[in-house]
């Protein structure tokens, strides 16, 4: 039974039973978050590159996967996907409010820039033969942190349908410290 779990009756040319069609429809509907109209699966593209970059200093064999990484648009990601909900994800994306779509695409463009920049910097370190250096470890840490910060914004958009303002630890400390100082003075 487990070996049939990845069979898609429509894709694989198998006649779908009403029960299997209902299961596929439920999966397809579940892929799109009703709060935003976006599918969280797309963010896996960025979660993967962050994880690869962060692990590179202790797992240099990840270098080829990192160097092969390329940005992919939301539409291209789902157009090439084998997920049961790919069509629903594309249809929902096409019907998004244009302002919300622009916000999401701006966050994705920021993620793309940061990821491409990190990959380029890692490529330079690799060409220089210094992947195992402390400089590369610091680069990977900084790049991972910077990408995670923007990935949180993207996750908020996907999960909540709005950009939830996230306060950094430093901003919170400053607000608490300086806010309390103003009350005292």
Classify residue 128 as left (phi > 0), alpha (psi -120 to 50) or beta.
alpha
126-157 residue pLDDT tens? 999 887 789 999 999 999 999 999 999 999 99
The residue count for the chain: 185
- Does residue 185 surpass a pLDDT of 90? no
161 band by pLDDT with thresholds 50, 70 and 90: confident
Mean pLDDT of 106-135: 93
Q: Is residue 84 very low, low, confident or very high in pLDDT (cuts 50, 70, 90)?
A: confident
Q: How many CB atoms lie within 10 A of CB 26?
A: 11
Q: What tokens were used for 176? A: 């608490």
Nearest Cα residue to 49 out of 61, 39, 63, 60: 63
Q: Alpha-carbon distance 181 to 22, whole Å?
A: 60
pLDDT of 7 reads 36
- List the structure tokens of 23: 């299961």
What proportions of the chain, in percent to the nearest 5, are helix, strand and coil? 70, 0, 30
When pLDDT is averaged across residues 83-97 and rounded to a whole number, the result is 92
pTM for this one?
A: 0.72
- Domain-wise residue ranges, the chain: 35-162
Whether 163 contacts 65, CB under 8 Å: no
pLDDT for 112: 97
User: pLDDT > 90: what percent of the chain?
Assistant: 64
The pLDDT value recorded for residue 93 is 95
Q: Model confidence at 162, in pLDDT bands (50, 70, 90)?
A: confident
3-class secondary structure, 39: strand
The continuous run of DSSP H or E covering 18 comes out as helix 18-31
**CA distances (Å), origin 43, targets 94, 146, 185:** 18, 15, 46
pLDDT tens digits along 12-31: 343 444 554 555 455 445 78
Residue bearing tokens 């244009």: 98
State pLDDT tens for residues 35-49: 999 999 999 999 999
């Amino acid at each position: 039974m487990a070996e049939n779990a990845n069979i898609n009756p429509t894709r694989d040319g198998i006649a779908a039973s009403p029960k299997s069609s209902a299961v596929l429809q439920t999966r397809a509907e579940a892929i799109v978050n009703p709060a935003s109209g976006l599918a969280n699966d797309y963010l896996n593209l960025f979660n993967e590159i962050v994880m690869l970059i962060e692990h590179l200093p202790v797992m240099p064999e990840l270098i080829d996967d990192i160097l092969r990484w390329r940005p992919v648009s939301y539409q291209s990601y789902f157009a090439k996907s084998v997920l049961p909900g790919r069509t629903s994800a594309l249809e929902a994306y096409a019907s998004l409010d244009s302002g919300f779509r622009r916000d999401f695409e701006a966050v994705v463009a920021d993620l793309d820039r940061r990821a491409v920049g990190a990959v380029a910097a890692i490529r330079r370190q690799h060409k220089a033969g210094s992947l195992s250096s402390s400089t590369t470890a610091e680069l990977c840490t900084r790049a991972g942190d910077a990408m995670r910060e923007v990935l949180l914004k993207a996750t908020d958009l996907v999960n909540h349908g709005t950009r939830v303002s996230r306060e950094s630890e430093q901003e919170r400390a400053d607000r608490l410290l300086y806010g309390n100082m103003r009350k005292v003075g």
